[in-house]
Structure 1
Amino acid sequence: MSTRPAPLSAGYGIRPARPAESAAVAALLARAFADDPVMAWMIPGADGERERRIARYFRLARRQQRPRAAAVRVAATAEGRLLGAALWSGPGRWRTSAVRELAALPRYAGIFGLRGMPRAGEVQEVMHEAHPAEPHWYLPAVGTDRGLQGMGVGSALLRQQLADCDRLGQPAYLESSNITNVPFYEKLGFRVTGELLLPNGGPTLWPMWRGPDPAAGRAPR
């Protein structure tokens, strides 16, 4: 039975995700990241099993994000169909506290397994060491459902927050785990600032930074 979503025919809007949508958001992001090079490196195995484990990862990631401002936004139709989702962290809030990370370790171990857990730790270490110190909005993950790429959903999902960044004079930051996605982010004003090479033959990530658009002006104080 095909899991490909029906064609997009209705309008949609961007809004915060609802608590009851946690599983649906995680499943959507798992489908979007099923073939992601870094996810495949951290979570090896058959496609179906890997997708289920990725969904568990994103559900845990959302739980870790929940206390943060504008943590999860979705593109959704009026009928409630989710088309895409983005995780955002506000300035100074991108890093989960050591206490929360320690408490989540058993669940992460269950997701990544014995082989993937060291790799996940290496990914986190590399990303943390390269993370900019300047206050910014951080985008750890964004994805659109299968069959909807290239239809403007991802751009619409990000433009709302990026417009707020421009209005407030705040930059944004992300790491692209797939080189084919770099042009998409460049069209939104991001630029590649280097390469993050994962150890032991792991894939590459591309950190990208977006300064606020001066033409948008700052919010009045």
Structure 2
Amino acid sequence: MSTRPPMPLPSDGYGIRCARPAESGAIAALLARAFADDPVMAWMIPGAAGRELRIARYFKLAQRQQRPRAGAVRVAATGEGRLLAAALWSGPGRWDTSPMRELAALPHYARVFGVGGLQRAAQVQNALHEAHPDTPHWYLPTVGTDPGLQGTGVGSALLRQQLTDCDRLGQPAYLESSKAANIPFYEKLGFRVTGELPLPEGGPAIWPMWREPAPAAGPAPHQEPAAGR
């Protein structure tokens, strides 16, 4: 999360909706800004020169991998189409990309990460796959808010849309935090850290987080009147 003072929210408000295919470039640019100081991205793409552009290319590719999943890319946006935050979701049993799609995407990943970075990206992916829980769940591989709007509640509102459905359906959710500073943000939404994944070669850590669905609200319990004279 950014430590800079948040910008005011748009005066015309915003809504949560599924992303439109024509917005993939703008979403990739937004996520690249949000992840510009991410330690795992910096480990996979060392050197600040051109990193944000390469991160944007990565997120455009990530969206392409998500597109076969209905409602997988969601945004917080104003009525005029200004994007404020974006999230990628995968439903239960649908988080893993098929080997054929991964193979087809390999040349694109190579252009994003380069030869050295590609090896590190593969190490990250392998670590995440090995730690991924088997219990059916909703998976949140990526969420990002425009840096100028972090701390305004936009990101929380975007995630609560799906988490409310998780609670209604009794389904858990899962993510990995790549920044220790972001853990309290996710904890406020009901996620809990389940472990720590240190990356090889002195790389940064990743924290898997799990969220059980909140119990359905029932009638208020009966209370006896306080004793008195």
* TM-score past 0.5 threshold: yes
Equivalent AA in structure 2 for residue 32 of structure 1: A
The aligned counterpart of 2:222 is: none
4+ runs of 1 displaced by more than 6 Å? none
User: For 1:168 and 1:27, how far apart are their aligned partners in 2?
Assistant: 33
The aligned counterpart of 1:149 is: 150
The aligned counterpart of 2:178 is: 177
User: For 1:163 and 1:17, how far apart are their aligned partners in 2?
Assistant: 19
Over residues 113-153 of structure 1, what are the superposed CA-to-partner deviations in whole Å (9 max), with x where a residue is unaligned? 01211100000000000000000000000000021000000
User: For 2:55 and 2:196, how far apart are their aligned partners in 1?
Assistant: 24
Q: By how many angstroms is 1:216 displaced?
A: 4.8
Decide whether the 8 Å contact of 2:9 with 2:152 is kept in 1: no
User: For 1:205 and 1:20, how far apart are their aligned partners in 2?
Assistant: 32
Over residues 89-125 of structure 1, what are the superposed CA-to-partner deviations in whole Å (9 max), with x where a residue is unaligned? 0000001000000000000000000121110000000
Decide whether the 8 Å contact of 1:57 with 1:108 is kept in 2: yes
- Structure 1 spans left out of the alignment, 5+ residues: none
Decide whether the 8 Å contact of 1:86 with 1:143 is kept in 2: yes
- Does residue 73 of structure 1 match 2:74? yes
Q: By how many angstroms is 1:44 displaced?
A: 1.2
2:34 is aligned, of 32, 36, 44, to: 32
Equivalent AA in structure 2 for residue 20 of structure 1: A
Equivalent AA in structure 2 for residue 159 of structure 1: R
Equivalent AA in structure 1 for residue 35 of structure 2: F
Sequence identity percentage: 77
**How many pairs are equivalent?**
213
The aligned counterpart of 2:225 is: none
* SS of match in other structure, 1:45: coil
User: For 1:118 and 1:214, how far apart are their aligned partners in 2?
Assistant: 42
User: For 2:42 and 2:69, how far apart are their aligned partners in 1?
Assistant: 27
Larger Rg: 2
Compared with structure 1, are the counterparts of its residues 188 and 5 closer, same or farther at alpha carbon in structure 2 (3 Å cutoff)? closer
Calculate the TM-score normalised by the size of structure 1: 0.93
Equivalent AA in structure 2 for residue 25 of structure 1: I
- Structure 2 spans left out of the alignment, 5+ residues: 1-5, 219-229
User: For 1:66 and 1:58, how far apart are their aligned partners in 2?
Assistant: 12
Over residues 43-94 of structure 1, what are the superposed CA-to-partner deviations in whole Å (9 max), with x where a residue is unaligned? 11225x1000000000000000001132100000001000000000000000
Calculate the TM-score normalised by the size of structure 2: 0.90
